[in-house]
Protein backbone atom coordinates (compact mmCIF):
# COMPACT_ATOMS: atom_id res chain seq x y z
CA UNK A 1 0.00 0.00 0.00
CA UNK A 2 1.22 3.44 -0.93
CA UNK A 3 1.04 5.68 2.13
CA UNK A 4 4.04 7.83 1.27
CA UNK A 5 1.80 10.86 1.03
CA UNK A 6 -0.50 10.27 4.00
CA UNK A 7 -1.30 13.98 4.28
CA UNK A 8 -2.78 13.90 0.78
CA UNK A 9 -4.81 10.83 1.69
CA UNK A 10 -6.00 12.40 4.95
CA UNK A 11 -7.00 15.53 3.07
CA UNK A 12 -9.00 13.42 0.61
CA UNK A 13 -10.64 11.56 3.49
CA UNK A 14 -11.62 14.88 5.10
CA UNK A 15 -13.18 16.03 1.81
CA UNK A 16 -15.44 12.97 1.95
CA UNK A 17 -17.10 14.71 4.87
CA UNK A 18 -19.06 16.88 2.46
CA UNK A 19 -18.89 14.66 -0.63
CA UNK A 20 -19.59 11.12 0.48
CA UNK A 21 -19.67 9.58 -2.95
CA UNK A 22 -18.25 6.32 -4.20
CA UNK A 23 -16.24 8.36 -6.70
CA UNK A 24 -14.46 10.34 -3.97
CA UNK A 25 -13.69 7.17 -2.06
CA UNK A 26 -12.43 5.50 -5.25
CA UNK A 27 -9.82 8.28 -5.51
CA UNK A 28 -8.53 7.29 -2.08
CA UNK A 29 -8.53 3.62 -3.10
CA UNK A 30 -6.46 4.53 -6.15
CA UNK A 31 -3.97 6.62 -4.17
CA UNK A 32 -3.42 3.73 -1.75
CA UNK A 33 -3.34 0.82 -4.20
CA UNK A 34 -2.26 2.23 -7.56
CA UNK A 35 0.79 -0.03 -7.73
CA UNK A 36 -0.92 -3.13 -6.38
CA UNK A 37 -4.04 -3.47 -8.55
CA UNK A 38 -4.91 -2.89 -12.17
CA UNK A 39 -8.06 -3.08 -14.23
CA UNK A 40 -7.91 -4.93 -17.55
CA UNK A 41 -11.43 -4.19 -18.73
CA UNK A 42 -14.42 -6.50 -18.98
CA UNK A 43 -14.65 -6.71 -15.16
CA UNK A 44 -11.17 -8.29 -14.97
CA UNK A 45 -8.79 -7.17 -12.22
CA UNK A 46 -5.26 -8.20 -11.34
CA UNK A 47 -3.19 -7.78 -8.21
CA UNK A 48 0.56 -7.75 -7.84
CA UNK A 49 1.77 -10.73 -5.85
CA UNK A 50 4.83 -9.55 -3.93
CA UNK A 51 6.06 -13.10 -3.24
CA UNK A 52 6.20 -14.15 -6.89
CA UNK A 53 6.62 -10.63 -8.31
CA UNK A 54 3.87 -11.36 -10.85
CA UNK A 55 0.47 -9.98 -11.71
CA UNK A 56 -2.28 -12.48 -10.89
CA UNK A 57 -5.99 -12.50 -11.60
CA UNK A 58 -8.14 -11.20 -8.77
CA UNK A 59 -11.05 -13.60 -9.16
CA UNK A 60 -14.34 -11.79 -8.43
CA UNK A 61 -12.19 -8.92 -7.06
CA UNK A 62 -11.95 -10.75 -3.75
CA UNK A 63 -8.51 -9.34 -2.86
CA UNK A 64 -9.46 -5.77 -3.75
CA UNK A 65 -12.73 -6.04 -1.83
CA UNK A 66 -10.84 -7.33 1.20
CA UNK A 67 -8.28 -4.51 0.91
CA UNK A 68 -11.03 -1.88 0.81
CA UNK A 69 -12.90 -3.53 3.66
CA UNK A 70 -9.82 -3.68 5.89
CA UNK A 71 -7.37 -0.96 4.86
CA UNK A 72 -9.52 1.86 3.47
CA UNK A 73 -12.17 1.39 6.15
CA UNK A 74 -9.46 1.53 8.81
CA UNK A 75 -8.04 4.74 7.31
CA UNK A 76 -11.45 6.38 7.72
CA UNK A 77 -11.76 5.07 11.28
CA UNK A 78 -8.29 6.33 12.24
CA UNK A 79 -9.08 9.73 10.72
CA UNK A 80 -12.38 9.81 12.63
CA UNK A 81 -10.46 9.19 15.85
CA UNK A 82 -8.10 12.03 14.94
CA UNK A 83 -11.04 14.42 14.62
CA UNK A 84 -12.59 13.11 17.82
CA UNK A 85 -9.44 14.12 19.72
CA UNK A 86 -9.34 17.62 18.20
CA UNK A 87 -11.89 19.07 20.61
CA UNK A 88 -10.78 22.33 22.17
CA UNK A 89 -12.31 24.78 24.59
CA UNK A 90 -14.12 26.52 21.74
CA UNK A 91 -17.63 25.06 21.34
CA UNK A 92 -17.61 25.61 17.55
CA UNK A 93 -14.40 23.66 17.16
CA UNK A 94 -15.78 20.89 19.34
CA UNK A 95 -19.02 20.64 17.35
CA UNK A 96 -17.12 20.61 14.06
CA UNK A 97 -14.67 17.96 15.29
CA UNK A 98 -17.44 15.71 16.62
CA UNK A 99 -19.36 16.10 13.36
CA UNK A 100 -16.29 15.15 11.30
CA UNK A 101 -15.60 12.16 13.55
CA UNK A 102 -19.17 10.92 13.32
CA UNK A 103 -19.40 11.33 9.56
CA UNK A 104 -16.06 9.63 8.88
CA UNK A 105 -16.96 6.79 11.26
CA UNK A 106 -20.16 6.24 9.29
CA UNK A 107 -18.22 6.09 6.03
CA UNK A 108 -15.76 3.65 7.61
CA UNK A 109 -18.72 1.44 8.51
CA UNK A 110 -20.16 1.69 4.99
CA UNK A 111 -16.82 0.48 3.65
CA UNK A 112 -17.45 -2.83 5.40
CA UNK A 113 -20.65 -3.42 3.39
CA UNK A 114 -20.28 -5.57 0.25
CA UNK A 115 -22.73 -3.56 -1.87
CA UNK A 116 -21.03 -0.25 -1.13
CA UNK A 117 -17.60 -1.77 -1.80
CA UNK A 118 -18.84 -2.99 -5.19
CA UNK A 119 -19.99 0.52 -6.10
CA UNK A 120 -16.60 1.95 -5.08
CA UNK A 121 -14.83 -0.65 -7.24
CA UNK A 122 -16.99 0.26 -10.25
CA UNK A 123 -16.08 3.91 -9.79
CA UNK A 124 -12.38 3.03 -9.42
CA UNK A 125 -12.16 1.18 -12.73
CA UNK A 126 -11.21 4.26 -14.73
CA UNK A 127 -8.31 5.08 -12.39
CA UNK A 128 -6.85 1.57 -12.52
CA UNK A 129 -7.47 0.92 -16.25
CA UNK A 130 -4.06 0.00 -17.67
CA UNK A 131 -5.12 0.76 -21.25
CA UNK A 132 -6.59 4.19 -20.54
CA UNK A 133 -3.68 5.31 -18.34
CA UNK A 134 -0.74 4.43 -20.61
Nearest to 69 by CA among 100, 10, 115, 9: 115
Nearest-angstrom CA–CA distance, 134 and 132: 6
CA pair distance 15, 27, nearest whole angstrom: 11
For the chain, domain boundaries: 6-128
C-alpha span between 123 and 112 (Å, rounded): 17
Q: Residue 20: pLDDT band by 50, 70, 90 thresholds?
A: confident
Q: Would you place residue 93 in the very low, low, confident or very high pLDDT band (cuts 50, 70, 90)?
A: confident
| pLDDT-derived band at 7, boundaries 50, 70, 90 | confident
pTM for the full model? 0.89
Amino acid sequence: MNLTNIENINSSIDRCNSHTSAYDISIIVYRCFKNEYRYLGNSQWEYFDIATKEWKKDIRTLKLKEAIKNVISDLFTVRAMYWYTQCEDNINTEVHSKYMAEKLSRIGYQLKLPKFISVVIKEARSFFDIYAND
